[in-house]
Amino acid sequence: MTPIVSKLPNTGTTIFTVLSALANKVGAINLSQGFPDFDTSPILIDLVNKAMLSGKNQYAPMAGVLALREQIAIKTKKLYGSNYNPETEITVTAGGTQAIFTAIAALINQNDEVIIFEPAYDCYAPAIRLAGGIVKSLELEPPDYKIPWDMVKKLANSKTRMIILNSPHNPTATILQKQDIEELSALVRNQEILILSDEVYEHLIFDNQIHHSMASYPELQQKSIIVSSFGKTLHATGWKAGYCIGPEYLMNEFRKVHQFLVFSVNTPMQYAIAEYLKDENTYLGLSNFFQEKRDYFREGMTQTRFELLSSAGTYFQMATYQKITDESDYDFAIRLTKEKGVAAIPVSSFYSKGTDHHVLRFCFAKQKETLEKALEKLIKV
Ligand code: GLN
């Protein structure tokens, strides 16, 4: 064997893959990896078929099919009030993760510091390290996982190049509030700090709260690359389609990497999504749709010994389990899957130090029957 120096020596297989594989193997109900167990709209599938049958099967333009970029511009203007030029400020990506990786690869230089908040989605830190950047993480704590802005201020310095935000937040299901936006604005004002804003769950916000997109605040918008995901918006995680928007000076750099990483994204899906998004109800209805599932799941969980944290957005519900066991969250998640037949994600996996607050993340993007069956099992735990 030729010796290699691993670029990510401490990285294993993602927890999502581990738990989903285990759930499949033992036949457990899979509330671990976040994906719907119901299908995307037949209308959308029909539109993809039509695109394929009408010969839309060769490379899309590098930045994405223009009709789709135009729809993204319209949606962003309507929801957040800001203008993005489809020609120069919007790029269609192979999902949110690719957009995040590309943004970091394009904008982070050797020894640049990047602030992230843990629990953090697991792709941020490896992408920063591969780019030669330095991860500066701050831990958030249950039950409310509020960003400690005074500590952020202390951490930020002249080497800080980027801060990664994620709202609605995976895994905690919290959302940024107006006050966070004010703190963030004060932090980056007159500083050379860029914002990478992971907004892949932008349309899944509950209880009539609003999504504070970076695109809503001109001062922040100018410094932000914003990432969204059609996987979440269209119940089609397997299509690996998403996009990113940002001011031209950032998007220029983004596209330099994008063109050599994926070049372009599959064509027929883009034509289909462009057509489908013309009906705004396709995304405006998502909050109600998922809130119903959240409420059903939460109601059922009150009959278990789990204790629920709040869920303001995303399709995740966090729960603690002090009344059940003092096992580590990882051990408990594995045992829950194998012995009790329900898979969930141990939240310690989202902390670089493995910090274990004894919290599991459940995905409720499931059919009512699936949730019902899972609840029947969880009640017995
Ligand atoms: N975003 C999904 C989740 O949080 C996982 C996606 C993946 O497995 N890479 O569960």
Instruction: Indicate the DSSP class of residue 203.
Output: T
Residue among 16, 20, 124, 318 to mutate when testing ligand 1 (max atoms within 8 A of CB): 16
- Same domain? For 262 and 182 the reply is yes
The reply to whether ligand 1 has any atom less than 6 angstroms from the CB of 33 is yes
137, pLDDT greater than 90: yes
Cα-based distances in Å from 150 to 80, 95, 128, 264: 28, 33, 24, 41
Q: What is the CATH number of the domain that holds 363?
A: 3.90.1150.10
pLDDT at 72 over 90: yes
- Report CA(121)–ligand 1 centroid distance (Å): 8
Residues 275 and 317 in one domain: no
Q: Please identify, among 255, 280, 305, the residue that sits at the C-terminal boundary of a domain.
A: 280
- Domain identity same for 27 and 47: no
User: Ligand 1, residues 18, 24, 35: which to mutate, most atoms within 8 A of Cβ?
Assistant: 35
State the pLDDT at residue 10: 85
Residue pair 18/337 in contact by the 8 Å Cβ criterion = no
CATH number for 62: 3.40.640.10
Statement to judge: residues 135 and 200 lie in one domain:
yes
Helix orientation angle between 96-107 and 248-261, rounded to the nearest 10 degrees: 110
State the Cα–Cα distance between residues 189 and 218, nearest whole angstrom.
Answer: 12
Does 244 share its domain with 301?
no
In a domain, 5, yes or no: no
Dump pLDDT digits (tens) for 339-349: 999 999 999 99
Total domain count for the chain?
2
Same domain, 351 and 207: no
Q: Which residue, judged by its Cα, is nearest atom 7 of ligand 1?
A: 16
Is residue 94 domain-resident?
Answer: yes
At 11, the pLDDT band (50, 70, 90 cuts) reads: confident
In a domain, 8, yes or no: no
- Whether the CB of 34 sits within 6 Å of ligand 1: yes
State which ligand 1 atom lies nearest to the alpha carbon of 231. 1
Cβ of 16 closer than 6 Å to ligand 1, yes or no, is: yes
150 and 249, same domain (yes or no): yes
Mean pLDDT of the chain: 97
CA dihedral 286, 292, 295, 298 (to 10 degrees): -80
Is 3 inside a domain boundary?
A: no
Q: Whose CA is nearest to atom 4 of ligand 1?
A: 34
| C-alpha to C-alpha distance for 228 and 76, rounded to whole angstroms | 11
Average pLDDT over residues 144-171: 97
Distance (angstroms) between ligand 1 centre and the Cα of 32 equals: 9
Cα 253 to the center of its chain, rounded Å: 22
Cβ(122) – ligand 1 distance below 6 Å: no
Q: Are residues 215 and 350 in the same domain?
A: no
pLDDT digits (tens, 9 = 90+) for 25-34: 999 999 999 9
> Per the domain annotation, does 118 fall within a domain?
yes
Q: For residue 87, is it within any domain?
A: yes
Same domain flag for 289 and 276: no
Residue 339 CA to ligand 1 center (angstroms) comes to 23
Domain boundary among 247, 280, 313: 280
Name the domain boundary from 243, 259, 280. 280
pLDDT tens-place string over residues 174-206 = 999 999 999 999 999 999 999 999 999 999 999
Which atom of ligand 1 is nearest the CA belonging to 96? 1
Site to probe by mutation for ligand 1, drawn from 22, 166, 170, 318 as the one with most ligand atoms within 8 Å of Cβ, is 170
pTM higher than 0.95 for the full model?
Answer: yes
Asked if 199 and 345 sit in the same domain, the reply is no
Ligand 1 pocket, residue 170 CB under 6 Å: yes
Q: What is the pLDDT of residue 55?
A: 98
Same domain, 276 and 172: yes
Tokens of 252: 């220029």
Q: What is the per-residue pLDDT across 286-336, written as a single tens digit (0 to 9) for each?
A: 999 999 999 999 999 999 999 999 999 999 999 999 999 999 999 999 999
Residue 352 burial by CB count (10 A; 0-12/13-18/19+): exposed, middle or buried?
middle
- The answer to whether residue 10 is domain-embedded is no
Answer yes or no: do 157 and 141 share one domain: yes
| Domain that residue 325 falls in | 15-37+285-379
CA of residue 16 to ligand 1 center, whole Å:
6
Asked whether residue 174 is assigned to any structural domain, the reply reads yes
